Structure formats: C-alpha cells, structure tokens
Amino acid sequence: MLIAQLSDLHVRPHGVKYQGVVDSNQMLGEAIEHLLQMDQRPDLVLVTGDLVDEGSPAEYEVAKALLASMRIPYLAIPGNHDHRENFRKAFADQSYLPGSGPLHYCVDDHEVRIIGLDSCVPGHHHGSIDVAGLQWLSDVLQSNTSKPTVVMLHHPPFFCGIPYMDEYRYVDPRPLEAVLKQAGNVEIVLCGHVHRSMLRRWANTVVCTCPSTVTEIDLQLRPTAQPSSHVGPRGCMLHLWDEHIGMVSHTSQIGAFAGPYAFA
C-alpha cells in the first residue's frame, strides 16, 4: 500500500496570496499533479493539518475543490491554522469525522489502520490533547493490537530546536507518549506544522514530519533566531507499506529538475 502525505497547504480564498507572497492554491494544484504523475499512484493521501490559512469558509471551499481534483481518497486532520467547526462543516460528507467535539477518528478500511488525532487548542497555536481524547486513543489502540497502525498528529511531540517553532510545539507530550507506548503496532506517527522533514524515535515508534506544499521554514537553531522561511524546497512524503518489509518513508520534492539521466 502506498500512502502519500501532504501537509500545511495554507489554502487562501481565490485571488489571495499566502502571506501576500505566494500562490498557495496553485502550489497545492502542483502538488496534486505531482502525485498523479507518479509511476505508482498512491492508494491513499493523508493531509496532516493546516489545510487553510485563516479557517474561513471561503478557504475551505477552495481547499475542498482542489482536493477533489486529486481523484485519490484522502483523510485529513486539522492544524493550528484551521477552524475546527468550519473544518467539520466543510467536510461534513466525510463520514469518518465525528459530529461534535475534537476531530479524532479511526479508519480501518485499508491494509494499514489510520488514526487521526486533533491536537488543536482553539484560539492558540500550540498543540495538546485532553484527558478524554487520550482515553479515546487508548481504547482505540487496545481494540486492535495487531494490525499495523499509522497515527496522524499535526503538532510534532518533541522539541525540534527551531526556537520560533518550539514555542508552538505539542505541549507536554508525556501522557500521549504513555498511551502510544502501550501499543506495539504503531508503525509511524505522521506530523506537519514545521514545514520541514524531520525524524525522531519516540514512544517506541518513529515520528516523521512532512514538508509543506507552500514554503519551507528556515532551519535556524540559535535561541535568538527570528522567524523566517523560503519558497522551497516544497515536498510531500510517500510511505510504502509492505507486510514483509514494514513501512518505508520517502521525501518527494515537488518541482521540475534536470534529468532524467541514465544512471542511478
């Protein structure tokens, strides 16, 4: 099973640029075309948050139309730039989304089980999951301890070293870590938020973050570093599941590059 991951789309209303600089809607279209042109089309796309930039109904209308053009089934979770209720209304036709409360869900229709977690705190940019959400996750994990499972979580549950991103990290991930450690079948935790690809061993599994389809947040590790980003490199992730080899993840850069050449 080939699973693609898109993240941090930051869709804007028609004619409006992201941060007044770049056309995030066009960039999402290019990311979708990138997936459609692959030699093996993904079976499923996971969208790990920040589908839109300001959470407005107009933005969700554009995002939904663009994602529909993908013609590949997809599952999405909200990010800190999303608005939970507007997200729920926009994707009301997606039967996996709960009708009230945080947007936690489990989809068990594929070779790999997909658990979506809503780590958003309305009105804030950091991430957290309350006690009820953690109990829901524990119950879902314990209901099937053998099927390979992927967990979607917008906020990475660790310090990444970029000071202006760590300010908005998942706060106190220890209770979430304890729940995930109870399960031996979580193959990977897929995150967004940082607009970069990162990898960390955590909670007896692996956490992997996905680049944005729009901009890359700059890798600056000085404690006094000021927020900055660049247009590119943009990318997505591909997660290849095979029952014999497990999960293998690749970063796939979006854009036109020189080649192909007759060597590998």
- Delineate the domains of the chain, giving CATH numbers in brackets: 2-253 (3.60.21.10)
Q: What is the pLDDT of residue 256?
A: 86
Q: Would you write out the chain's pLDDT as a tens digit for each of its 264 residues?
A: 999 999 999 999 999 999 999 999 999 999 999 999 999 999 999 999 999 999 999 999 999 999 999 999 999 999 999 999 999 999 999 999 999 999 999 999 999 999 999 999 999 999 999 999 999 999 999 999 999 999 999 999 999 999 999 999 999 999 999 999 999 999 999 999 999 999 999 999 999 999 999 999 999 999 999 999 999 789 999 999 999 999 999 999 999 889 989 988
Q: What is the pLDDT of residue 232?
A: 79
Q: Is 144 left (phi over 0), alpha (psi -120 to 50) or beta?
A: beta
Amino acid in the structure at residue 143? S
Q: Collapsing DSSP states into helix, strand and coil, what is residue 79?
A: coil
Structure token pair of residue 81: 């730039």
Gap between the Cα atoms of 73 and 169, Å rounded: 29
